[in-house]
Copies of this chain bind each other. A is one copy, B any other.
Amino acid sequence: MLAAMTDRDGRLAIGELAARSGLAPSALRYYEEMGLIHSERTTGNQRRYPRTALRRVAFVRAAQVVGLSLEEARAALDRLPVDRAPGAAEWNAVARTWQRRIDARIGELERLRERLTGCIGCGCLSLRKCGLYNPGDVAGSQGPGARYLEGDPLPEA
């Protein structure tokens, strides 16, 4: 094996894309099923990914860090060119959306930390004094867990 599983057109077999992206082949098949990446097939029905798939996968991972679901990542990807690097304008639109999410989440965390700091030493955890127990103020009161940056409509109130 010379250039691993990369053919002369530079197209990647799934194992190669897996190795380069750090994802399992099963995950890549899943991403493809979700429409995040696309492949052509060999005569023998094996996937061959264009090199842009590498970029798209990286994009998806970054999106996940920002807190996007795969569905949201797909929506964002759909607005970027499939087979070439995005232009500045295209990229800016996406990047700005991400920045807003990041900023929002950072702000949320900072407020929580502040409340926490106020608590340290107060020995409180009494329902009336402690900001932590101020319901409706606790970010994400709509539902817990994985919804950190998911851009659920920030509570109007």
Contact = CB atoms under 8 A, between A and B. Distances in A.
Interface of A: 21-22, 54-55, 58-59, 61-62, 64-67, 80, 85-88, 91-92, 95-96, 98-99, 102-103, 105-106, 108-110, 112-113, 116-117, 119-127, 132-133, 135-136, 138-141, 144-146, 148
A133 B103 contact: no
B135 A88 contact: no
A125 to B, nearest CB: 5
Nearest to A134: B58
Contacts of A112: 62, 65-66, 102
B146 A61 contact: no
A133 B51 CA distance: 14
Contacts of A132: 58-59, 62
Q: In the assembly, how many copies of this chain are there?
A: 2
Which DSSP category, helix, strand, loop or mixed, fits chain A's interface?
helix
Quick one: which of A66, A122, A123, A144 has the most chain B CB within 10 A? A144
Nearest to A110: B106
B67 A148 contact: yes
A124 B80 CA distance: 12
Given A65-B112, A65-B139, A146 B145 contact: yes
A117 B91 CA distance: 11
Nearest to A139: B65
B58 A133 contact: yes
B86 A135 contact: no
Contacts of A65: 108, 112, 138-140, 144
